[in-house]
Amino acid sequence: MITWTLSSGSDTNVSGTADDRPAAIAQIAEAARTAVLTATTEGRYTLTVDGEPVLILGVGRNEFGKPNTDQALDRIDQLEATENPKGIGRGRPAEPQSPRLSTDGGPPAADPAH
């Protein structure tokens, strides 16, 4: 079993266990996303997996005085992409892609990647 902990300052916010490291990364990433998205003030978060700090996040304020979450969410995504390349777990939802339009006014063109 792999343990993981998300802490803020001297307080432990969330902790858990997983069967393996990729699952632990997915779980701690989801917990960190939730903490960052629900933050009402600046904060510092430490993500620890199996006793090893894997990421330290700082959330400051944006020009509107709200918590600036974009950079923290990007760092969580980077951690997950590096430590969990197979994408086990949910991760941040992908933005919907618009259909490819044809150039002749007909129906949308087929996506060559699929």
Q: Place 102 in a pLDDT band, splitting at 50, 70 and 90.
A: very low
CB 100 within 8 A of CB 111: yes
Tell me which of 106 and 22 has the higher pLDDT.
22
Report how far residue 27's alpha carbon sits from residue 54's, in angstroms, rounded to the nearest whole number. Answer: 13
Q: CA dist 77 to 9, 11, 32, 83, Å?
A: 22, 24, 10, 10
Q: Per-residue pLDDT averaged across 48-70, rounded? A: 91
Is the per-residue pLDDT at 93 higher than 50? no
Q: Strand runs (DSSP E) across the chain, as ranges?
A: 2-8, 11-18, 43-49, 52-59
Report how far residue 50's alpha carbon sits from residue 71's, in angstroms, rounded to the nearest whole number. Answer: 25
Q: Place 28 in a pLDDT band, splitting at 50, 70 and 90.
A: very high
Lowest mean pLDDT segment, chosen from 23-32, 47-56, 86-95, 98-107: 98-107
Q: Per-residue pLDDT averaged across 55-67, rounded? A: 89
- pTM for the full model? 0.71
